[in-house]
């Protein structure tokens, strides 16, 4: 749950930065949000979730 919330916050910050710096229009951000919302209800959602967890585990395992 914490990974999901932090992922949402991170993506929200990225969208905000794109909106402010790169000229992302509000309509583009709304379409991206709706796409993600509807994609979460498809059969691909568990695979995407598992891929995200795997990527987070990979990044978390990197030692400097």
Residue reference for tokens 């795997």 = 54
For 44-56, the pLDDT digits (tens) are: 888 888 888 898 8
Cα 14–chain centre separation: 9
Summary mean pLDDT of the chain = 79
What is the mean predicted confidence (pLDDT) over 3-28? 76
pLDDT at 1: 47
Question: What are the residue ranges spanned by the domains of the chain?
Answer: 2-60
Residues of the chain with pLDDT > 90, as a percent, come to 0
pTM of the predicted protein model: 0.56
Q: Do 39 and 49 touch, CB atoms closer than 8 A? A: no
């Amino acid at each position: 749950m914490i990974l999901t919330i932090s992922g949402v916050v991170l993506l929200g910050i990225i969208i905000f930065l794109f909106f402010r710096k790169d000229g992302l229009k509000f309509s583009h951000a709304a379409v991206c949000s709706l796409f993600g919302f509807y994609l979460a209800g498809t059969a691909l959602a568990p695979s995407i979730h598992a891929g995200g967890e795997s990527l987070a585990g990979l990044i978390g395992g990197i030692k400097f």
